[in-house]
Amino acid sequence: MTTREPRRRRALRRAAALAAAAAAIAAAAAHPAPANALAPPGCGDHAATTRALHRVTDVDGLTGAAVRVDDPRCGTWTAASGTADRRTGRPMPADPRVRIGSITKTFTAVTVLQLAAQGRVSLDAPVARYLPGLIDANGHDGRKITVRSLLRHTSGLPDHMDSFQSTDEFRFRHFEPEDLVRRALRLPDPGAGWHYSTTNYVVAGLIVEKVTGHRLEDEAERRILRPLGLRDTYWPGDETRIRGPHPRGHVRVDQGGTVRWADSTDMNTTVAWAGGALISTPRDVNAFYGALLGGRLLPARTLAEMERTVPTDPDRTWPGAAYGLGLIRTPLRCGGAWWGHAGDIDGFTTLAGVAPGGRRVSIAFNENPTTQAAFDDELALVQTGLCDRGTETP
């Protein structure tokens, strides 16, 4: 979500820094997975996932990490590694309440798609049908940009997050959605094709409000959060603090060879709104994606529309990723593909997905990756959590 996100992805792709194999072996030995004698046959003891989890903190050096696995047959398993707060040394909780960044986009997409299923929004209608004149500037034409192209990031709209040079420019400011759109329209045209833009989802959120006459937050609460019992998921609005117990969000800063960790926990996320403001937990995120991919939130025909993908820019996602309507499809090394999304905001990174058999994995970090190795290991943790049956290695 942040202005650093696309730049960091490009930097990570160039970095390709590899952790030492000896350190990985030592880390795995230091954290053996607990035996799970009560697990059903074939469920395993999550040994590979445990090793992948501790690699992120012990080898890559990230502050803290948590993973939750929900399996229809094997039940729930959670684990954590590292610390929740570098200042106090408090351990990382296994189900932390964190900022989930761009995972918010899936919630917004589902809200729009429910309206589409009800015939109140047409995916192939132009934005101008709902918001006339909103995006008619700098060569952009709301009569030619469809609702579907917003949700799929093929609208050609710039990303307003690219208008900020640093987090300090927006961290404690309130933004109205229309102001964010205007900022985006002043930026250079990103060109044809797929272009990740949080502005797309700001516009989608405004469409929800125009069609329903209600705030996006209230519609998402009524349609998704309350029916699914997502008690730890909420829209913070102008609140800068995270409610209740939570880990601190850390940003690694290297100044002249001296490394320190800045605390970026507190933030006004109206700058991302429909594209990145939500706060949640791995439990709630897994419940949400399980309900969505399980057919509980959308009719089968609408879910199929959501799963129609286009190729992405790997510098803004990862190799093999394809983008649907607020969903990312990624090949799964144990067969098939996993569906989900990722979120990145200063101090917090989250990834979540669902495997073909219904196994769900959500992971949360309270520090952003700064090397290619760390980013790859975060993705590997998702893959391992979805594939681990107690017999493979990460």
Q: Which CA distances in Å does 114 have to 86, 145, 243, 283, 367?
A: 42, 20, 29, 23, 34
Instruction: Report yes or no: 136 and 129 within 8 Å, Cβ to Cβ.
Output: no
Among 17-21, 76-80, 234-238, 368-372, where is mean pLDDT lowest? 17-21
Instruction: Report yes or no: 343 and 131 within 8 Å, Cβ to Cβ.
Output: no
Q: Going along 306-393, which residue ranges are E strands?
A: 310-311, 322-323, 328-331, 337-345, 348-354, 360-365
Nearest CA among 152, 189, 190, 156 for reference residue 312 = 152
Q: Is residue 14 scored above 80 in pLDDT? A: no
Among 66-75, 174-183, 310-319, where is mean pLDDT lowest? 310-319
Handedness of CA 152, 157, 160, 161 (dihedral sign): positive
Over residues 218-238, mean pLDDT: 98
Q: What percent of the chain has pLDDT over 70?
A: 88
pLDDT band at 42 (very low <50, low <70, confident <90, very high): low
Amino acid 26: pLDDT = 39
Chain segment 274-317, per-residue pLDDT in tens:
999 999 999 999 999 999 999 999 999 999 999 999 999 888 89
Amino acid 383: pLDDT = 97
Over residues 319-333, mean pLDDT: 97
The mean pLDDT of the chain is 90
Query: For residues 210 and 231, what is the distance between their CA atoms, to the nearest angstrom?
Result: 27
The single residue of 81, 102, 155, 197 carrying the catalytic annotation is 102
pLDDT band at 41 (very low <50, low <70, confident <90, very high): low
Our answer to whether residue 264 is catalytic in this structure is: no
Segments in the chain forming alpha helices (H): 5-15, 21-30, 47-58, 104-117, 127-130, 147-152, 177-185, 198-212, 216-220, 226-228, 282-293, 300-306, 372-387
Query: For residues 217 and 209, what is the distance between their CA atoms, to the nearest angstrom?
Result: 9
Q: Is residue 392 scored above 70 in pLDDT? A: no
Chain segment 18-30, per-residue pLDDT in tens:
333 333 333 433 4
Amino acid 389: pLDDT = 77
385 three-state secondary structure: helix
Chain segment 74-118, per-residue pLDDT in tens:
999 999 999 999 999 999 999 999 999 999 999 999 999 999 999
Amino acid 39: pLDDT = 54
Query: For residues 323 and 341, what is the distance between their CA atoms, to the nearest angstrom?
Result: 9
